[in-house]
Amino acid sequence: MSSTNNTNGPPVYDHGDIAWVLASTSLVFIMVPGVDNRTLSMGVTTIPSDVYAIYQCMFAAVTPALALGAAAERARIIPTIIFIFIWTTLVYDVIACWTWNPDGWAAKLGVLDYAGGTPVHISSGAAALAYALVLGKRHGHGTDEFKPHNVANVVLGTALLWFGWFGFNGGSALAANGRAAMACIVTNLSASVGGLTWCFMDYRLEKKLSALGFCSGAVAGLVCVTPGAGFIDYPSAVAFGFLGGCLCNLAVRLKHVFNYDDALDVFAVHAVGGFTGNLLTGIFASKSLIQMMDVTASGDGGWISRNWIQIAYQFADSVAGTLYSFLMTFAILWVMDKVPGLSIRTDPESEAKGLDETELGEYAYYHVDKLIAYTKKTGEKSYDDSMNQPISNN
């Protein structure tokens, strides 16, 4: 989501992959007593270690990419690449370790997080908020210039994301079995309900049904169901989608109240959605489903299984993930910004021209962007919007 004369944010050449391959696999999974037989952590015996490592690498790759949505149109590329490597190692790895390593404090406590509510969504959302605060607002923030310029691309991206989520949530079963199928079905239900909920919340205020609103709600539903996808039944997925859509929608509106510039609403959708999903998992996790699916985590379920303490465990993990990610991200960016040559924000002139030109030397829409640049430079009207074609200035 970006204006046509600016980039969608710094391209993520690292994506966290290099950090994961060099260090993170060992930090998160291998450091467990008694590991043997081609496994990276106790209880993971269904697949070879290399397969598990590359699967988890995708989690490590997507998480910092989510956070960078808040930095769109004003963050420099080279410092961003360095930040991704540092952040993946010091923030993502630590949270993933305490969540999924059997010796992690959250895992020992009995926290239920099926596919990354805290390591992926809360951590990226909190990091996005810190990034937005450190960078400051874009010039012209709050004007129509920063509305999504291509809703068709938003719809296409949401469709790809929705499909890919089956790999994340279904794949977290680490096998092609009933648990994976159940996770995919509740994921789809939550996304559908989240999209409709967001649409109707917008309709209540604007009297219009928006494709962009449906896409935002669908992503909110996907995020919200992630921590509980392997632990809940189908009716519970409706509650995840509905509450995720409602609360994330309200969080987006609060962004304007607090006046911070999170370009892609990463905090509102991912942090709030992940936090909501964690708490709902503490309510709707089913003991019978957990035992039937032979999940290695705590088998006592949530409130519906009369395990009243579970929501407290979920809350503690969510708060810890939010605070750790926010404070560490803020500290990393603050230190980097003080290092000569690593200033994280581009200069005003480059921001005005657009980072496609100043950082990359290329455009997403070459002819359109060149035309806009010419118009800004000369002040002449070189394009007739009513005819939707170039006209002569003579």
Helix, strand, coil share of the chain (percent; to 5): 65, 0, 30
Give the pLDDT of residue 1: 38
Specify whether 144 is located in the same domain as 125: yes
Does residue 367 share a domain with residue 311?
Answer: no
- Does some domain include residue 7? no
Task: State whether 236 and 261 are in the same domain.
Answer: yes
In this structure, what CATH number is given to the domain that contains residue 239? Answer: 1.10.3430.10
Specify if 244 maps to a domain. yes
What is the mean pLDDT of the segment spanning 57-68? 92
pLDDT of residue 259: 86
Please give the helix or strand (H or E) that residue 205 lies within, else none.
helix 178-206
Nearest-CA neighbor of 169 among 113, 230, 218?
230
Contact 100, 60 (CB under 8 A): no
- Considering the domain architecture, whether residues 160 and 268 belong to the same structural domain is answered as yes
Which residue reads 């407290």 in tokens? Answer: 312
Do 299 and 365 fall within a single domain? no
pLDDT digits (tens, 9 = 90+) for 217-265: 999 999 999 999 999 999 999 999 999 999 999 999 998 888 888 889 9
pLDDT of 41 over the 50 cut: no
Residues 168 and 312 reside in one and the same domain: yes
Strand-pair partners of 345: 75
Res 3 pLDDT > 50: no
In a domain, 296, yes or no: yes
> Do 360 and 221 share a structural domain?
no
Does residue 10 lie in a domain region?
Answer: no
The residue length of the chain stands at: 394
Q: Which H/E stretch holds residue 264?
A: none
What's 39-83 look like in SS3? CCCCCCCCCCHHHHHHHHHHHHHHHHHHHHHHHCCCECHHHHHHH
pTM: 0.83
CA dist list (Å): 352 to 178, 237, 309, 336, 358: 52, 44, 52, 23, 10
Answer whether residue 3 is part of any domain.
no
Domain span holding position 372 = 348-390
374 or 315: whose pLDDT is higher?
315
Q: What's the Cα-to-Cα distance from 371 to each of 29, 72, 358, 384, 391, rounded to whole Å?
A: 52, 22, 16, 12, 12
Which of 316, 338, 360 terminates a domain? The answer is 338
Of 74 and 239, the structure prediction assigns the larger pLDDT to 239
Q: How many domains, the chain?
A: 2
pLDDT at residue 32 tops 70? no
Based on the fold, state whether residues 59 and 198 are members of the same structural domain. Answer: yes
